[in-house]
Amino acid sequence: MIHIVIGTKAQLIKMAPIMKLLTDEGIEYNYISTGQHRETIDEILDNFGIKSPDITLYHGKDITSVVQMFFWVIRITWQSLFNRKSTFRDDRNGIVLVHGDTFSTLLGAIMGKFGGLEVGHVESGLRSFNIFHPFPEELTRLLTFRLSDVMFCPGQWAVNNLERYRGTKVDTGLNTLFDSLQHALPAINEIGDLNIPGAAFGLVTLHRFENIKDRDALERILVLVERISKTTRLLFVLHKPTKEKLQRHGLLERLQDNPNIETRPRYDYFRFIRLVLAADFLVSDGGSNQEECYYLGKPVLLLRKATERPEGLGRNCVLSEYKTGTVDEFMENIEKYRSEAPKLNVTPSMKIIDFCRKYA
């Protein structure tokens, strides 16, 4: 049987095309949610028309802090290891699919190993080659590589990064996020009014640990966002952890008092993509946003020290390294970074399903 263990919104968005295709192909799968993120999950399930989790390991609030994460990991690990037979339906010949580089990724891989099943890692082979950037994602990836029997890699470059690791490598050509975007684009025009500005604007979304871990990190990104806002109106989509950290350090009012910055709540995937399409550019620290902008030809400024993905770098994507000069250059040359969307004819999700049919 095919078991899918995911816990965050980003993972669900990228695994949704696989789950939808499994249903369309009449292949049963066991959807296990670690419960790391619960808010807006139902909206994403509705976006893609896929079922709710068969098993949910945690029913509490979203995990947004290191302390919460510590106790959550202990609780979920204990629960899953002692209930592995029921969690995996006493399966002995299946595969556990995990995704990406979160704690849910590593937890799912550990669960699969203890359950005596093979582990398939989707979005495998991504590397920044810097253990501290991003942290702890780079470390999580390395540990997951060690536990994986099958690595589904979004390109030959990712396959090459896994030469030293055992296991079967499958080149899916692109990330499954490409399929997610293909589901979203036809639905864009059916979405209700999002109060999109009539004039040019930039869209900001920041949430990574290295950018919100403490006041200094928050100040660093806030200064850069304020610098950008001097020339362009910004819509700042606030992730829950980002909002909580801004409030804790007394910085949220400073952001909201800026007349050229409008804060917005987080949206479901389809609505967010509509905003991306309407924006002149994106300011983000997310690897998924980097890929989405590459597929759309949209200029994107990454507020990060390093990235594990090559998509769009030097074309439509600029890695800031938090340097004001790089930020200014991006803003002064937006049109230079606007490119045509690449013409791609790949369905990475189907490649994964075709490989996994033998486990069904």
Is residue 179 situated within a structural domain? Answer: no
- 49, 78: one domain: yes
Quick one: tokens of 265?
């709540």
Is residue 184 situated within a structural domain? Answer: no
Is residue 183 situated within a structural domain? Answer: no
- 123, 53: one domain: yes
Quick one: tokens of 77?
């690990």
Phi, psi (deg, nearest 5) at residue 281: -160, 170
Other residues' Cβ atoms within 10 Å of the Cβ of residue 87: 23
- 210, 303: one domain: yes
Is residue 241 situated within a structural domain? Answer: yes
Is residue 247 situated within a structural domain? Answer: yes
Residues in Cβ contact with 235 at an 8 Å cutoff, skipping those fewer than 6 apart? 197, 201, 202, 203, 204, 262, 264, 275, 279
Q: How many residues does the chain have?
A: 360
- 290, 167: one domain: no
Q: Whole-model pTM?
A: 0.89
Question: Along the 360 residues of the chain, how does pLDDT read in single tens digits?
Answer: 999 999 888 999 999 999 999 999 999 999 999 876 666 678 889 999 999 999 988 666 666 566 666 666 676 666 666 666 678 888 889 999 999 998 889 989 998 998 899 999 999 999 999 988 888 899 999 999 999 999 999 999 999 999 999 999 999 999 999 999 999 999 887 887 789 998 999 999 999 989 999 999 999 999 999 999 999 999 999 998 899 999 999 999 999 999 999 999 999 899 999 999 999 999 999 999 999 999 999 999 999 999 999 999 999 999 999 999 999 999 999 999 999 888 888 899 999 999 999 998
- 113, 218: one domain: no
- 321, 351: one domain: no
Rg (CA), the chain: 20
Q: Are 141 and 102 in contact (CB under 8 A)?
A: no
Give per-residue pLDDT as tens, 65-101.
Answer: 666 666 666 766 666 666 666 788 888 899 999 999 9
- 153, 261: one domain: no
Half-sphere exposure of 61 (CA within 13 A, CB side): 5
Distance (Å) of CA 324 to CA 215, 320, 331? 19, 8, 11
- 41, 141: one domain: yes
Count of structural domains within the chain: 2
- 30, 56: one domain: yes
Distance of CA 186 to the CA centre of its chain: 21
Return the pLDDT at 136: 85
Residue whose tokens read 């029921």: 86
- 160, 217: one domain: no
Is residue 38 situated within a structural domain? Answer: yes
Is residue 169 situated within a structural domain? Answer: yes
Taking the C-alpha atoms of residue 46 and residue 51, their distance in angstroms, rounded to an integer, is: 8
Give per-residue pLDDT as tens, 179-229.
Answer: 999 999 998 878 877 899 989 999 999 999 899 999 999 999 999 999 999
Is residue 298 situated within a structural domain? Answer: yes
- 157, 208: one domain: no
- 281, 355: one domain: no
Domain of 250 in residue numbering reads as 189-337
Output the domain CATH number for residue 202.
3.40.50.2000
